[in-house]
Structure 1
Amino acid sequence: MTSLFLRSLAAPLPLLAAVGLLSAPAHAATPGYDSTTQYVAMGDSFSAGVGAPGGDTDCGRTAQGYPALWANAHGITSFTDVTCGGAVTDDVLANQISGLNAETDVVTITIGGNDAAWGEQVTTCMSGDSACTTSINKAIADMPAITAKLDTTYAAIHQAAPNATVYVLGYPLLFEETASCSVLIAPNQFQRKEINRFGKALNQGIASSASKAGFKYVDAQPSFAGHAVCSNQSWFHAIADLPPLHPTADGYKLGYLPALTSVTG
């Protein structure tokens, strides 16, 4: 979010804050994916790997994000990474589409969290329960405007890479809803439930737009279950961390990578 959605919570990168290839186990290349596969990773901070070590200073891209881990696990050597923390759909259209062409075989993308101002929802929710519900209700009511932007973006991806298989990854829910949790780590229980309600609505919109475009939607929520903020084994940075509410290296390796692999093989 300047990394995925949290523009309002953080600093140097456009999203939240300033953000080596972590060795993945050696695997035989999956049939259909090998050293000849042309793979392009697109999207915001959750695709760039913001929150894992080794991020670059421009976009927070790191070899510990799920795109590099997935490429490595599948023997893919032609890997183009145009992801960038803080990206919105307009950034994908202006700066990332150029990474695609008719030879592109595979595309992955997370996008929409910054368009939907998820970080602003978190900030507003922390100001009080009533303000939280009002903000979440409005954000969900405005979701058709977000899905319209996604439709435009996905159509542009298809036009630029007409032969590619496109995997649209959703976002994990950020918070465990019932666990006891310090305010330095997360909002109160009611607010966490409201923020997750928004996350579910956003993912539903993303999945719908992906299906309409003929793309494959990858649900990240199941693989992160039990590992959100406030869990005993969280795969996220807490509110007071930098970058706040982004996956850790374990989140990308143990959450996003298995989610993607479950769909791609």
Structure 2
Amino acid sequence: MQRNDPLLDLGDPSPALGDANRDGCDRTTGSYPNLVAARLAAAPPAGRSVKLTDVSCGGAVINEIASARQTPISPVEAPEDGWPDVATQVERAGLNADTDVVTIGVGGNSMPFGKMLSACLISGVGQPDEATPCRDAYEGGGPFLDPESIYDKYDRVTREYAGMVRAVQTKAPDARIITVGYPTIFPEDATSCDRQDTTELAASIQGLGTVSLTHGDIAWMHGVNAHLNAIIEAITELSGGEYVDTAASSVGHDACQARDVKWVEGVCGTAGSYWPTEVALGPITLECADGNRATLVHPNAAGHTNAATHVEAAVRTALASSTQ
């Protein structure tokens, strides 16, 4: 008898793809969970069918996986009074003892990378390429737009992520947990990044014109992204789960690469025509021109395809081991 194995996806769907059918959470048919589900349906693991339940929600922070309600933030066709709150992803997914596999992709919004990006853009005004004003601020007490040091961020995210994984394990004690790390968003060597190109790591800000991260801060943010991945990997291994590395395979496909090479869009980039051309991040508003959209360093279709390849392999391994 063929079994229908529950595959549940939690986290932030990274909505740079763009999708007109939105409910405020920006789940997209081209995201890696749906690509994985389609591949498993086309070539099922031996004798098994897999049902995907995708409850990921754009902008989700770690605590909204298992302990806090979330207010969706999609700017696309949003109601005048905003999107209604949604329950925790664990609750909406219906995790239970029959759940076989849970994939989790979350953490960047808890840093939060969006606020850090804004702070680093502002910090770079008038600074030479090699300067590290954003790093200096975060290694102090944090910049004025985000007054939390990078060390406090790492400590907090570690606690939150560990607690979230424990909560998922409590709800789905027999499930194989697969966590997904972040791709290479920022290059380690930033000298080729164009500080005037908003499709890379520069931005047009109302009242300020074009601003950008310095090359020194881009390299530092590469390290921050790597440290976040290391936190996720360490907690996953301690919990007995499996960590999926998408950073190594995406080296050379960061936001500073050419449009047909990058797997992560820049501050502005390619997305659906209904995606906004400007977005407010705290007290600043980023503007995109020339048909570009406010993609805010999210993976594009090629990035999701790459992630799907690695996540699919992990899911197949997990399902195979659960039959032994």
TM-score exceeds 0.5:
yes
Measured in 2, the distance between the counterparts of 1:182 and 1:132 equals 15
Residue of structure 1 equivalent to 2:294? 242
Residue of structure 1 equivalent to 2:303? 251
Q: 1:110 to 1:211 in 2, by over 3 A?
A: same
Partners of 1:42 and 1:107 within 8 A in 2: yes
Residue of structure 2 equivalent to 1:53? 18
Q: What is the identity, as a one-letter code, of the residue corresponding to 2:37? A: A
> RMSD between aligned alpha carbons?
1.9
Q: CA deviation digits over 1:88-128, x for unaligned, max 9?
A: 12211131111111111111111111111122222222223
Q: CA deviation at 1:78?
A: 1.7
Q: CA deviation at 1:196?
A: 0.8
Q: What is the 5 A alignment of 1:102-141?
A: 102-126=97-121, 127-128=123-124, 129-137=131-139, 138-141=149-152
Measured in 1, the distance between the counterparts of 2:110 and 2:137 equals 15
Q: What is the identity, as a one-letter code, of the residue corresponding to 2:9? A: A
Partners of 1:229 and 1:236 within 8 A in 2: yes
Partners of 2:181 and 2:243 within 8 A in 1: yes
Q: 1:72 to 1:35 in 2, by over 3 A?
A: farther
Measured in 1, the distance between the counterparts of 2:256 and 2:162 equals 34
**Structure 1 segments of 4 or more deviating over 4 A?**
none
TM-score (norm 2): 0.66
Q: 1:142 aligns with which of 147, 150, 153?
A: 153
Q: Does 1:85 align with 2:58?
A: yes
Partners of 1:116 and 1:146 within 8 A in 2: yes
Partners of 1:167 and 1:217 within 8 A in 2: yes
Residue of structure 1 equivalent to 2:284? none
Q: What is the 5 A alignment of 1:118-197?
A: 118-126=113-121, 127-128=123-124, 129-137=131-139, 138-176=149-187, 177-183=190-196, 184=198, 185-186=200-201, 187-197=213-223
TM-score (norm 1): 0.80
Measured in 2, the distance between the counterparts of 1:167 and 1:90 equals 18
Stretches of structure 1 lacking an aligned partner (at least 5 in a row): 1-33
The structure with the largest strand share of the pair is: 2
2:4 alignment partner, SS class: coil
Partners of 1:104 and 1:164 within 8 A in 2: yes
Query: Identity rate of aligned residues, in percent?
Result: 27
1:87 alignment partner, SS class: coil
1:85 alignment partner, SS class: coil
Q: What is the identity, as a one-letter code, of the residue corresponding to 1:260? A: V
Partners of 2:97 and 2:171 within 8 A in 1: yes
Measured in 2, the distance between the counterparts of 1:197 and 1:80 equals 33
Q: CA deviation at 1:157?
A: 0.4
Measured in 2, the distance between the counterparts of 1:35 and 1:247 equals 33
Residue of structure 2 equivalent to 1:73? 39
Residue of structure 2 equivalent to 1:7? none
Q: CA deviation digits over 1:182-227, x for unaligned, max 9?
A: 4322133212101111111111111111112111111110121111
Paired positions, count: 228
Residue of structure 1 equivalent to 2:252? 226
The structure with the largest helix share of the pair is: 1
Q: CA deviation at 1:262?
A: 4.0
Measured in 1, the distance between the counterparts of 2:29 and 2:162 equals 29
Partners of 2:184 and 2:253 within 8 A in 1: no
Q: 1:210 to 1:135 in 2, by over 3 A?
A: farther
Q: 1:196 to 1:216 in 2, by over 3 A?
A: same
Measured in 2, the distance between the counterparts of 1:212 and 1:77 equals 27
Stretches of structure 2 lacking an aligned partner (at least 5 in a row): 42-48, 69-87, 125-130, 140-148, 202-212, 269-292, 317-324
Q: 1:96 to 1:122 in 2, by over 3 A?
A: same
Larger Rg: 2
